[in-house]
Chains A and B, each alone.
Chain A
Amino acid sequence: MGQSKFSTHPTSDKVYYIISGFILTFILIAVSYPLIYVLSASFSSGNAVSSGRVLLWPVDFSLEGYEAVFKNKDIVRAYGNTFLYTILGTLVNVTVVMTCAYALSRPGLKGRGSFMFLFTFTMFFSGGLIPFYILMKDLHLINTMWAMVLPGALSVYNMIIARTFIQSSIPGELIEATSIDGCSDARFFFSFVLPLSKAVIAVITLFSAVGHWNAYFNALMYLNDRSLYPLQIILREILIMNQVDVSMIMDPELQVAKAQAAAVLKYSLIVVATVPILCVYPFIQKYFVKGVMIGSLKG
């Protein structure tokens, strides 16, 4: 796609390519600028950030923001909680989704249509906020870590993606051949379906992990014990409600320094809270485009 090819295009197409190239470049900049800015600000000094001197690259490179983040006990504990909820929750999600998808992928299963209806109906209608809250209360899940792990254990959408994937990528002849050899359904699941479904498992793992990592709503609703708080609740306090404790210091000069540190802390916190999940995604990117395609085209 070099220059030589470009010159062979008719003029009207050249205009098209120039305009669309310009628009795509604009989108690229518009999407990446805030990300780059946040990253740069997180590595700048408090003074540079609060005086608005950071525009693109770090100014007065410093790690004070990150130091402040990791010195804050609330943040560190919430970080640990989030890791725990993410790992447990993702494990539960993938297990429930894959077992269900496998069973429903088998054409001979009696009552398959009824089960599908039972599941898909919940995509369009739900009891709503308050009945769900009452349920959580009756199950005594309020103020336990299970309030972060159990709700949403089955994503019907993911289940449909997985089911479609299994149906289209694992040939029926394989099931027949192995069952003649005496392979049970459960063994078939563990020795054939799971290894052959790596791509879709990767996609579901990513979707669930992102969901759990970013979960805010469940914590807001069902947790009021501070020691159970996930990262997102602490993030809200600091980033949006602006609750960084600077008032404790009486010395005005120190107070200014603290306020500046608080400004950088916010950017460092954004980076620390976002980077783990962004790190996972390039590895699974090749899978998820495929996964979304399968789910969308044939689902």
Chain B
Amino acid sequence: MPSWQLYLFLIPATVYIIIFAYVPMAGVQIAFKNYNFNLGIWGSEWIGWDNFRRFFDSYQFTTLIWNTISLSVYSLLISFPLPILFALMLNSFTGQKFKKIVQSVSYMPHFISTVVIVGMLVQLFNPRTGAFGALYTFFSGELLADAFANPGAFQHLYVWSGIWQGIGWSSIIYIAALSSVDEHLHEAAQIDGASRLQRVRHIDFPSILPTATIMLILAVGNIMEVGFEKVFLMQNELNISKSEVISTYVYKVGLTIGSGDFSFATAIGLFNSLINFVLLIMVNYAAKKFSDTSLW
């Protein structure tokens, strides 16, 4: 019979989660209020759906939604399958030493901060002094166009630098799943004359499918959640038409000097997480129906 001491162990985590997760959840009500600093969250006056209506009617609405969704979907389409392919390929390769090196090196960028990643992008793509600028000039004799001044380049820079940073790390979970594949399956298939590629397709790939399904559910359930940090850091006046997404807009409306419209910003944020939540439930339902793999 467990003792009271175990409950003592639960105190720090429970207190933390109630204060830092549940109290802000209760604070969401200001989306339906006209938040007044002096009256506080509970004292401010209710105004119903006004903040939401204001957002739907605003001229940025379509652009924001489009930027957010297109960036997420583009990112998902690239960053979901590539780590799987990478893991399959790495797992099936024979040179153990080479495999280890590729694996260790590919993890490294995961540990680099977003600020440094964006800083490196800025430096490396500098037309004159950056490595890619210099290489471009070396091969073509022309000056590289400034990537950060071009709205059309924003999404590509965002997504592909994300691949550079994450491909190794995201593949760990699949490599782990692949390591539990029964060797006998491979041996039996080999005796039946299956080629390496066939074995990857018919043995390795199906064995990581459940893991991949879970990862896909989580990714789709996060589709409206484009990373604030990286977008914010990559943003400038020149690419803002493509780089303003809901999360950066919420920050600007709510917290930058001169605005401070807390209720309006919360309403936008709530609208965003609501779409996310609905997507998560829908995808989970579909996954359960079609493949028996689901989050709950």
Contact = CB atoms under 8 A, between A and B. Distances in A.
B9 A100 contact: yes
B82 to A, nearest CB: 10
B39 interface: no
Nearest to B234: A240
A114 B95 CA distance: 48
A31 B9 contact: no
Interface SS of chain A:
helix
In this complex, the member of B5, B10, B135, B270 whose beta carbon has the largest number of chain A beta carbons within 10 angstroms is B10
Contacts of A236: 115, 119, 233
B69 interface: no
B122 interface: yes
Contacts of A53: 134
A10 B128 CA distance: 49
A217 B93 contact: no
A214 B24 contact: no
Contacts of A184: 3, 5
Given A129-B250, A239-B118, A239-B123, A100 B12 contact: yes
Interface in B5-21: 5-10, 12-14, 16-17, 19-21
Contact of B120 (A38, A126, A213): A38
Interface stretch (B58-66, B72-80, B167-175): B167-175
A128 B24 contact: yes
Given A24-B90, A134-B27, A239-B116, A292 B176 contact: yes
Contacts of A178: none
A285 interface: yes
Interface SS of chain B:
helix
Interface string B104-124: 111111011111101110111
A159 B13 contact: yes
Contacts of B118: 239-240
Interface residues of B, number: 95
Contacts of A256: none
Contacts of B27: 127, 130-132, 134-135
Contacts of B262: 130, 134
Interface residues of A, number: 97
In this complex, the member of B30, B89, B116 whose beta carbon has the largest number of chain A beta carbons within 10 angstroms is B116
10 contacts: A27-B102, A50-B129, A108-B1, A119-B17, A127-B21, A134-B24, A134-B262, A135-B23, A154-B16, A293-B179
Given A52-B128, A99-B13, A235-B119, 6 more contacts: A126-B21, A130-B254, A131-B28, A239-B115, A239-B122, A293-B176
Interface of A: 1, 5-6, 9-10, 12-13, 16-17, 20-21, 23-24, 27-28, 30-35, 37-38, 41, 49-55, 95-97, 99-100, 102-104, 106, 108-110, 115, 118-119, 122, 124-135, 139, 150-151, 153-154, 159, 184-186, 189, 210, 213-214, 216-217, 221, 232, 235-236, 238-240, 263, 266-267, 270, 273-274, 277-278, 281-282, 285, 289, 292-293, 296-297
Interface of B: 1-3, 5-10, 12-14, 16-17, 19-28, 30, 41, 86, 89-90, 92-96, 98, 101-102, 104-109, 111-116, 118-120, 122-124, 128-131, 133-135, 137-138, 164, 167-168, 172-173, 176-177, 179-180, 195-197, 211, 221, 228-229, 233, 247, 250-251, 254-255, 262, 265-266, 269-270, 272-273, 277, 280
